[in-house]
Amino acid sequence: MAWGPKMADRKAETNLSSELPVDLVETRLRSNYMQAQYVFVQFLTEHLAECSRAFDGDLVEVLVLAIIGQAALQGASGGGAFKSVNATRISDLIGIPRQTVRRKLLKLEDRGWIAQDPNAGWRLAQGAELPAAKVSLKKLDESGIRRLAQLYVGIDAICKNPAPSSAPTPQKLPPSLTPVPPNGRS
C-alpha cells in the first residue's frame, strides 16, 4: 500500500536525530510500548480530527487526496513532473469500491484541488505558484507540521531511553507534547 520503500526494507537506515539504527528504534518503541502508543495515538487522533473538520467529516476524501498528493511528491522528488494516479489504483490502495473513489474524485475536482489528465489519471490542480489544495488547506498543513514536530520529539525521547517505562502515564511525556488547539495556535 505504501508508495515508497517499506520500513522492513530500510533496516540499515538510521534515525536522523539520534543516529540509531531502525531495528534499535523499533526495539525501544516495543519496550516502551504504552508510552509510544500514547504519543502516536495522540498525534493520530488530533490530526484525523482536524482533517475530519477540514473535509466536512469525510476521511475517505482525505485519503484520496493524500494518495494523489503522494504521487505528486513522488514525481517531484525525482525531479520530474507531478505524477498522476487513476481511480482503480486509489480504489486498490484504500480498499473501497472504484465508484466511491470516483465520487470523491469529482468532489475534490469541484473544490478545485485536483484535475484529470488526458490519460484518465488524477493529479493535484496547480494554482498560480502552489497546488490549490495546499493553499486551501494551509491552516491544516501548518498545524500538522507542528503536530508532527511534537510526535518527533516524543518518539525521539522514547528512543533515547533504553529502559522500558514502568508506568505509561502522560506525565512521563516531554512537556512539549501538549495538544494543538483547533485554531493551530498555542
Q: Between 18 and 118, where is the model more confident?
A: 118
Q: Which three cell numbers stand for residue 28?
A: 525501544
Of the candidates 159, 155, 62, the one whose C-alpha atom is nearest the C-alpha of residue 111 is 62
Helix (H) and strand (E) counts in the chain: 7, 2
Ordered by where they begin, the domains of the chain are 19-172 (1.10.10.10)
Within 28-177, strands assigned E span 114-116, 122-124
Residue 91, judged by CB atoms within 10 A of its CB (0-12, 13-18, 19+), counts as: middle
Which pTM value belongs to this model? 0.72
What confidence score (pLDDT) does residue 72 get?
Answer: 86
Per the DSSP assignment, residues forming a β-bridge with 150 are none
Over 70: is that where the pLDDT of 15 sits?
A: no
Summarised one tens digit per residue, pLDDT across range 123-174 is: 998 876 778 888 889 999 999 999 999 999 999 999 887 766 554 444 444 4
Tell me the mean pLDDT in the region 1-21: 48
pLDDT grade, residue 30 (50/70/90)?
very high
Q: Which three cell numbers stand for residue 160?
A: 533515547
Is the CA virtual torsion 51, 55, 56, 58 positive or negative? Answer: negative
> Look-up: residue for cell 481511480?
87
Of the candidates 96, 43, 116, the one whose C-alpha atom is nearest the C-alpha of residue 51 is 43
Is the CA virtual torsion 109, 115, 116, 122 positive or negative? Answer: negative
Summarised one tens digit per residue, pLDDT across range 31-79 is: 999 999 999 999 999 999 999 999 999 999 999 999 999 988 887 777 6
